[in-house]
Structure 1
Amino acid sequence: MTLQNLFNEKPTELWNERMTEDGEELFTEERLLMSDKVLDKYLNQLILLQETKHPESIMKAVEEVVVTFNEMNEENGYFIETMEREELADFIDKAARLAGLEIEEDQDITEEWREW
């Protein structure tokens, strides 16, 4: 698995399915596009950082994506609920590990900044 593979495994894929197939009203095209854009930026930052595997830089990218989702969630009707929170936190964690972040297996790297 590489960071490039994660572009096709973003949680927004699942959210889009729930919106289109299940009629889930938490999601809109706009919310999905905003979320995709933020996740793409995060993945691109990590791709640039993966050669150095500098933990502080990787954690700064994690903080940035979490804080951005905090703001988007608040400004867009709180669309991140329990299932979405788990999917998003897992994705952020998986990407950071692929970029070279070495942390405890059960450590939640988003918890420090996460409001969703």
Structure 2
Amino acid sequence: MTLQNLFHQKPTKLWNERMIEGGDELFTEERLLKSDQALDTYLHQLIALQETQDSERMMKAVEEVVVAFNEMNEANGYFIETMEREELADFIDKAARLAGLDIHEDEDITEEWREW
């Protein structure tokens, strides 16, 4: 598994499926697009940092994507609920690990900044 593979495994894919199949009203095309853009930016940052293994800058990228989702969630009617929170936090964590960030197994790297 590489970071590039994660572009096709973003939680927004699941969210889109739930929106289409189940009529899930938490999601809109706009929310999904903004979420995709935030995750793409995050992945691109990690790819750029992967070779340097700069853990400080990797954690800054984590902070930035978490804060972006805090702002999106607040501005869009709090669309991140329990299942989405778990999927999103797992994705952010998995990407950081793949980039080489040394994280303790039971550590939630989003918790410090997460409001969702």
TM-score, normalised with respect to structure 1: 0.99
Pairs aligned (count): 116
CA shift for structure 1 position 32: 0.2
What is the rounded CA distance, in whole Å, between the counterparts of 1:109 and 1:36 in structure 2? 20
Residue equivalent to 1:54: 54
TM-score, normalised with respect to structure 2: 0.99
What is the rounded CA distance, in whole Å, between the counterparts of 1:60 and 1:113 in structure 2? 11
TM alignment of 1:34-113, pairs within 5 A: 34-113=34-113
Q: Percent identity?
A: 81
What is the rounded CA distance, in whole Å, between the counterparts of 2:32 and 2:3 in structure 1? 20
Residue equivalent to 1:16: 16
What is the rounded CA distance, in whole Å, between the counterparts of 2:11 and 2:103 in structure 1? 22
CA shift for structure 1 position 103: 1.1
Gaps of 5+ in 2: none
What is the rounded CA distance, in whole Å, between the counterparts of 2:29 and 2:59 in structure 1? 29
Residue equivalent to 1:4: 4
The list of structure 1 runs, each at least 4 consecutive aligned residues, that deviate by more than 3 angstroms after superposition, is none
Task: Please report the RMSD computed on the Cα atoms of aligned residues, expressed in angstroms.
Answer: 0.3
What is the rounded CA distance, in whole Å, between the counterparts of 1:106 and 1:13 in structure 2? 26
Question: 2:13 is aligned with what amino acid?
Answer: E
CA shift for structure 1 position 2: 0.2
